[in-house]
Amino acid sequence: MLDQFRLVDPGWKDFLEIALVGFVLYRVLLLLQGTRAVQMLLGIVVLVFTYAVAYALKLTMITYLLDKVFTYGVFALLIIFQPELRAALAHIGQARGVGRFFRRMEVSEVAEEIADAVERLSRSGIGAIVAIERESNLGDYLQSGSEMQAKVSADLLATIFTPYSPLHDGAVIVRGDTIIGAGCILPLSQAPFADRSLGTRHRAALGLSEESDALVIVVSEETATISIASHGRLTRNLTAQQLRDLLAGQAPPRPAESPILELHG
């Protein structure tokens, strides 16, 4: 009887399939980590367990109702998990060479200009958010702001984020050595923030990094601290030199569990 099962005598294809399925499940869990989807998945597990118990005990009414829930629940899941599905598809579509340009840079002129502007804004306590485009195209976000074609400079960035200027509330988008947009609205992350000092700019930075491979720099208006979001992780309390090193390709360590990493000095 046992000879009828393939896994008794597994081949290399079986191990390959197990490895691929395990990797996909691991990546899915990473995408869901720190989001509301985790609680929703727990709710689904409870429903499945309830259905199994009701089926074993022959509770026909409960099994009938849960059958209907599972039949139409697929469509509800597509709506509920829409942000996570969009982020997952974005990650799948990203090329393996993400950030190639910034990893090769050695404190280039663009990195210096951005770092100088961020340091100046931090000293003045002026809030700012700068999204640096990498492999994922950020052109869709230009429609929510004002398109530009201006060479990156510290003076221009500082001017854009000056309080009461027309574009200071939105995000600046940088492509290569050019500012292509300002005053742009970015998607907000749904990750829970325990720290009340993290406002809309931090949520927008984290949200864009969840849906693309962009590098998003944030200056807090409340605390004047410098943060950077990348691959769904927010690294806080960066110094100006640490920011320069990161733009040059020497990224700080990514946290293993929390979507927010505290970095000091």
Residue 217, strand partner residues: 130, 228
pLDDT digits (tens, 9 = 90+) for 58-92: 888 888 888 877 777 767 767 766 666 666 666 55
pLDDT at 26: 75
Mean pLDDT of 219-223: 89
On the question of pLDDT at 53 being above 60, the answer is yes
Count Cβ atoms below 10 Å from residue 212 Cβ, excluding itself: 27
Which residue's entry shows tokens 């569990």? 257
Mean pLDDT of 226-246: 88
CA separation for the pair 87, 188 (Å, rounded): 12
pLDDT at 11: 72
For residue 207, CA distances in Å to 4, 80, 183, 218 come to: 49, 17, 16, 12
pLDDT at 80: 64
Mean pLDDT (the chain) is: 77
On the question of pLDDT at 170 being above 80, the answer is yes
pLDDT at 99: 45
pLDDT at 88: 61
CA separation for the pair 255, 242 (Å, rounded): 16
Mean pLDDT of 159-168: 88
pLDDT digits (tens, 9 = 90+) for 83-135: 666 666 665 555 444 444 444 443 478 888 999 999 999 999 999 999 998 88
More confident residue, 131 or 11: 131
Percent of the chain with pLDDT over 70: 71
On the question of pLDDT at 24 being above 70, the answer is yes
Question: pTM for the full model?
Answer: 0.59
pLDDT at 55: 85
Write out the two tokens for 172: 């600046």
